[in-house]
């Protein structure tokens, strides 16, 4: 195994985590979620999937800085997932579910 494969695998794993956690957050959002929050999670998920494709399809080999940065972002997503356990955090909603007629 060459030394270049280690940051590539770390980058690939981190991007898969980013795509999955972004998707998990997107399925919890709805029209009451602040638009910029929904937009950022759409962008995060899409870019993470493109990054996975770059590694798998086009043989992109990221260096350590890209791998560590992707890993740090993935760590943030995993660490903050507890805030999304019961749905979208209240601060990210334009109106509480009770006021919007929802039963959440």
Give the list of residues 6+ apart from residue 77 with CB closer than 8 angstroms, or none.
17, 18, 21, 22
Whole-number Å distance between alpha carbons of 8 and 85: 31
CB atoms within 10 A of CB 78: 13
Alpha carbon dihedral 76, 44, 42, 98, in 10-degree steps, equals: 10
SS3 34: coil
Report the pLDDT value the prediction gives residue 79, as an integer from 0 to 100.
Answer: 97
Bridge partners of 53, per DSSP, are none
Report the pLDDT value the prediction gives residue 1, as an integer from 0 to 100.
Answer: 57
Report the pLDDT value the prediction gives residue 2, as an integer from 0 to 100.
Answer: 75
pLDDT, tens digit only, all 104 positions of the chain: 578 899 999 999 999 999 999 999 999 999 999 999 999 999 999 999 999 999 999 999 999 999 999 999 999 999 999 999 999 999 999 876 555 555 55
Bridge partners of 82, per DSSP, are none
Whether the CA torsion 81, 84, 90, 94 is positive or negative: it is: positive
Alpha carbon dihedral 12, 16, 21, 27, in 10-degree steps, equals: 150
């Amino acid at each position: 195994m060459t030394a270049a494969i280690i940051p590539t695998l770390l980058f690939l794993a981190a991007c898969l985590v980013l795509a999955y956690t972004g998707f998990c957050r997107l399925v919890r959002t709805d029209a009451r979620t602040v638009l910029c929050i929904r937009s950022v999670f759409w962008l995060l998920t899409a870019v993470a999937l493109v990054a996975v494709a770059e590694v798998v399809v086009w043989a992109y080999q990221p260096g350590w800085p890209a791998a560590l940065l992707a890993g740090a972002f993935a760590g943030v997503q995993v660490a903050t997932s507890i805030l999304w356990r019961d749905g979208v955090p209240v601060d990210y909603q334009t109106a509480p579910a009770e006021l919007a007629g929802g039963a959440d």
